[in-house]
Structure 1
Amino acid sequence: MMIFIPFPLTFSVLLPFFLIVLFIYKNSKRRINKARLPSGEMGLPWIGETVEFYKAQRTNQLFENFFQPRIMKHGQVFKTKLMGSPTVVVNGATANKFFMSNEFKLVVSSWPTSSVELMGKNSIMEKQGDSHRCLRGIITSTLSITGLQAMVPRMCSSIQKHLQKNWQHSEEISLYRSTKMLTFTIVLECLFGIGIEPETLFGVFERVLEGVLSPPVNFPGSKFSRAKKARTEIEKVLITEVRRKREEMEGGRDEEDDMLFSKLVAALIRGEITEEEVVDNVVLLVFAAHDTTSYAITMTFKMLATHPDCYSLLLKEHEDIARNKKPGESLTLEDVKKMEYTWQVARETMRLCPPIFGSFRKATTDIEFEGFTIPRGWKVLWTTYGTHYDERCFPDPMSFNPSRFADPVQAYAFIPFGGGPRLCAGYQLAKLNILVLVHYVVTQYNWSLLDPEEPIFMDPLPYPSKGMPIKISRKSDN
């Protein structure tokens, strides 16, 4: 039976509700208008300056064509609108320290909708407080000194197998594609210990990556739609692996070891985390640990190729280490610690060619910073370029000078791995991956770039447009 409510009665009931909403809205507008916002342009309605941002990103010119012109016009702190959200972009070591150290207090992680849906709503990227600390504790326990000592031989084995299979009988390879496949393999085999053939999932993960910064429009054929389908494929495979591992551990046929996948499933059994959290964190960490690392490795070799004096110093460091190893003997963590100059080269490469441009946060309260007010709910974007290319942090910033890292650098100035409570949990894995691979390549192969001027594009992360082809030959064959 339909009940008819007279219009005057309906109006009298709803009017107070509308007045309250209007009051809140006007107060919110008044609060923002009274605040001293940073200068800047908000661009078109809703879209803001997103088109300009994506255009600069695509050609890997975010600093030159988006951030730098606005810094010159408005200063180190400026407002804009990106992906539908009013955003304040902050630059400089002081800003990095302020926002990174106030994670969970003034700001929280706030990636675009597409990134969250594809990386996982239950991943550490989205977790706050106790949930974040629990997951981070599980991850970092795998990368303790003991964990790293056990990981180095496994990594040596994976790298040598990859080189024998893909490099040994080749004269030319795509360095970027080869390192992407290798780092993906290392994450699955050496970090997680998941018994899945990397080749079966590599292409699917690549399809997901294509959509992580795309507009979250889920219509057939769009990047986001293709990425969502690929994400579903990965999820099905991982859920099967999680349940198989859980059944074996609960049945006494397997036990917790030093692999991250085992530790996550053990935490699931103890009721500390959910199945969704296991899956989402595997997905996130595969991306975080392999894609940015492969770019860093590729650009390290490019810098070495174009700076032969640096390459000579690096090669000597590795030849000295190899001279003290027996044939076929794996490296140890102590050997890796001796690669000091190599790590200077890698850090200088990541300073000039950061694998990520920055990271988004959301203000959980009105924030007073350098005389400006950042309203609650606005996004905050810190950038690597804001310090990496700043001569106050790094004199002559556009020159390649690894020795600048021989001494400690200013805190919060070098931030390819972020900082504060959200410092990249896979930092040590990335470092090991870079150093161990460089060792085996430079001691076993002669190599040279085929196109030193190859352009770098970004979609959504930076990559060499031709895959960085290199000519190679085994040293033992000469």
Structure 2
Amino acid sequence: MAMEISSLIPWALVCLVPLLSTILLRHSKCCSKSKTKLPPGEMGIPWIGETMQFYKAQRKNRLFEDFVQPRMMKHGKVFKTRLMGSPTIVVNGAEANRFFLSNEFKLVISAWPSSSVELMGRNSIMEKQGEQHRCIRALVSTSLSHAALDGLVPKMCNSVRLHLDRNWNGQDTVSLYRSTKMLTFTIVFECFFGIEVEPQTLSTFERVLEGVFAPPVSFPGSKFSKAKKARREIEKMLVKIVREKREEMENGSEREVEETLLSRLVGGMIQGEISEEEVVDNVVLLVFAAHDTTSFAIAMTFRMLALHSDCYALLLQEHDEIRREQRPGENLTVGDMKKMKYTWQVARESMRLFPPIFGSFRKAIVDIEYEGFTIPKGWKVLWTTYGTHYSEEYFQDPLTFNPTRFEESMPPYVYLPFGGGPRLCAGNQLAKLNILTFIHYVVTCYDWSLLYPDEQITMDPLPFPSRGMPIKIARKSP
């Protein structure tokens, strides 16, 4: 019996060695993880974390004041939290913006909520990485080249003047925000894509927008369910348009080949570079990206002009000079846009104080060492525009409206109303032209004033003036 037991001992040791090695390896990994230095902060209650506090501050358009700033004062510029079920690191400052935005595709990737991805489209540019992202972005950028802008500006001028004639003439008051939403939506569709829109199309898109940050629950009557239904209606409409455009281009039946973004996207589809689903999803995304944020930027620019009469006087002088050099009824040109230097300073300062986007989420695709902390792979990273826009480190008296601060160039990654890095908004030039064109025709053709100068700004899910920013208007004499 003793012989049998002694003979089993070597075999037992052979079996125990791998087991002990596994235990030691796991122990060493646990020790190394425990030595990982996470940023300070509080994760809140399980899964939910601090999501409710985040949403509450966001709805009031006080995300920086009520959520980010108190935690920065307690923990520093880099802190951890848990938002929408994900452990998240919030970063602030120009250096943080540069580090994370410039390392897109290398250290981090875009990480939108699942409801946003499903409604905007899994094949849109916001979900594309690397070469696929660059391919689609190149098509968009080509549509906003210098040559393309020369042809785009007259179309925008015609759209703005037609919109004002139809919706402002004969009125005493108009909802500025609602009016600009209708206009920017039409410009994106008709001038940029070359697609005629039906009157009800905007309301269908708005139903989609209501669900982009809603919980992805599809029970009947939920915001997400209603948004998905609206998304299917839009998709059906766009698929029909895309297929008709493809047939025209393949058969050469177009009387005049017009270089719009839609024709470029469909051209890429014909050449096998992108799919029909990618064309449809990118049209949906770019319509949202180009019209909602632009209309808010316009509204906030008019708000700040109404509150600062000295700035308005300087701006009006700039536009009167441009108008005096034009023949009656003549459209603006790209050259005229370049003369609107002070107007663009006013718009930029308005977007600094009221950024159309609060920031965006990224996801770490590797363990990231930053500022002495480790951000584990799979964690979210949130950068915010407020982290620099409202900081005395970058702007003297940051809460004061001062357009002339933009007479000098801004350091990189300080001013980010359009984001930055490889995912810098591809349509930022379209937004700029839209803002400048609208301002020109309003201030040269109308006297106007705000009805509610202290109107609250709310968010659902993007920022907007709670009353729609009604203004009193009176047509100027020719």
Q: By the TM > 0.5 criterion, same fold?
A: yes
Give unpaired runs (5+ residues) of structure 1.
1-20
Instruction: Measure the CA separation in 1 of the matches of 2:24 and 2:230.
Output: 45
Letter in 2 for 1:424: C
Instruction: Measure the CA separation in 1 of the matches of 2:257 and 2:362.
Output: 35
Instruction: Measure the CA separation in 1 of the matches of 2:160 and 2:407.
Output: 28
Secondary structure at the counterpart of residue 477 of structure 2: helix
| Contact 1:32–1:375 (8 Å) recurs in 2 | no
Cα–Cα, structure 1 residues 98 and 39, in superposed 2: closer, same or farther, change >3 Å?
A: same
Instruction: Measure the CA separation in 1 of the matches of 2:329 and 2:29.
Output: 67
For residues 350-378 of structure 1, the C-alpha deviation after alignment (integer angstroms, 9 at most, x for no partner) is 00000110011000101111111100110
Letter in 2 for 1:204: T
Instruction: Measure the CA separation in 2 of the matches of 1:29 and 1:124.
Output: 38
* 1:211 is the counterpart of 2:211: yes
Letter in 1 for 2:284: V
Instruction: Measure the CA separation in 1 of the matches of 2:437 and 2:359.
Output: 27
Cα–Cα, structure 1 residues 135 and 80, in superposed 2: closer, same or farther, change >3 Å?
A: same
Instruction: Measure the CA separation in 1 of the matches of 2:25 and 2:269.
Output: 43
Instruction: Measure the CA separation in 2 of the matches of 1:24 and 1:201.
Output: 60
The CA deviation at 1:200 is: 2.6
The CA deviation at 1:215 is: 1.4
| Contact 1:384–1:416 (8 Å) recurs in 2 | yes
For residues 134-189 of structure 1, the C-alpha deviation after alignment (integer angstroms, 9 at most, x for no partner) is 00000000000011111000000000000000001111010000000000000001
| Contact 1:139–1:260 (8 Å) recurs in 2 | yes
Q: Which residue of 1 aligns with 2:261?
A: 260
Map 1:62-141; keep pairs closer than 5 Å: 62-141=63-142
TM-score (norm 2): 0.93
Q: Which residue of 1 aligns with 2:14?
A: none
Instruction: Measure the CA separation in 1 of the matches of 2:370 and 2:25.
Output: 25
Instruction: Measure the CA separation in 1 of the matches of 2:371 and 2:351.
Output: 28
The CA deviation at 1:248 is: 1.1
Cα–Cα, structure 1 residues 32 and 468, in superposed 2: closer, same or farther, change >3 Å?
A: farther
Q: Which residue of 2 aligns with 1:201?
A: 201
Instruction: Measure the CA separation in 2 of the matches of 1:218 and 1:388.
Output: 37
Q: Which residue of 1 aligns with 2:182?
A: 181
Cα–Cα, structure 1 residues 209 and 438, in superposed 2: closer, same or farther, change >3 Å?
A: same
Instruction: Measure the CA separation in 2 of the matches of 1:471 and 1:252.
Output: 50
Of 416-425 and 32-41, the range deviating more from structure 2: 32-41
Q: Which residue of 2 aligns with 1:33?
A: 34
Cα–Cα, structure 1 residues 84 and 25, in superposed 2: closer, same or farther, change >3 Å?
A: farther
Letter in 1 for 2:354: C
| Contact 2:186–2:197 (8 Å) recurs in 1 | no
Cα–Cα, structure 1 residues 377 and 28, in superposed 2: closer, same or farther, change >3 Å?
A: farther
Q: Which residue of 2 aligns with 1:335?
A: 336
Instruction: Measure the CA separation in 2 of the matches of 1:335 and 1:432.
Output: 11
For residues 387-442 of structure 1, the C-alpha deviation after alignment (integer angstroms, 9 at most, x for no partner) is 00001111100000000000101210000101111110000000000001000000
TM-score (norm 1): 0.93
Letter in 1 for 2:299: T
Instruction: Measure the CA separation in 2 of the matches of 1:45 and 1:25.
Output: 25
Q: Which residue of 2 aligns with 1:150?
A: 151
Instruction: Measure the CA separation in 2 of the matches of 1:427 and 1:189.
Output: 18
For residues 105-144 of structure 1, the C-alpha deviation after alignment (integer angstroms, 9 at most, x for no partner) is 1011111111111111100001001100100000000000
| Contact 2:119–2:227 (8 Å) recurs in 1 | yes
For residues 334-360 of structure 1, the C-alpha deviation after alignment (integer angstroms, 9 at most, x for no partner) is 000100000000000000000110011
The CA deviation at 1:26 is: 8.2
Letter in 1 for 2:224: F
Q: Which residue of 2 aligns with 1:5?
A: none
The CA deviation at 1:35 is: 1.2
The CA deviation at 1:219 is: 1.4
The CA deviation at 1:196 is: 2.8
| Contact 1:47–1:84 (8 Å) recurs in 2 | yes
Q: Which residue of 2 aligns with 1:361?
A: 362
Q: Share of identical aligned residues, percent?
A: 67
Q: Which residue of 1 aligns with 2:221?
A: 221
Q: Which residue of 2 aligns with 1:437?
A: 438
Map 1:167-316; keep pairs closer than 5 Å: 167-197=168-198, 199-254=199-254, 256-316=257-317
> How many matched pairs?
458
The CA deviation at 1:32 is: 4.1
Q: Which residue of 2 aligns with 1:10?
A: none
Q: Which residue of 1 aligns with 2:394?
A: 393
| Contact 1:191–1:260 (8 Å) recurs in 2 | yes
Letter in 2 for 1:180: K
Secondary structure at the counterpart of residue 476 of structure 1: coil
Structure 1 or 2, whichever has the larger Rg, is 2
Letter in 1 for 2:282: N
Give unpaired runs (5+ residues) of structure 2.
1-21
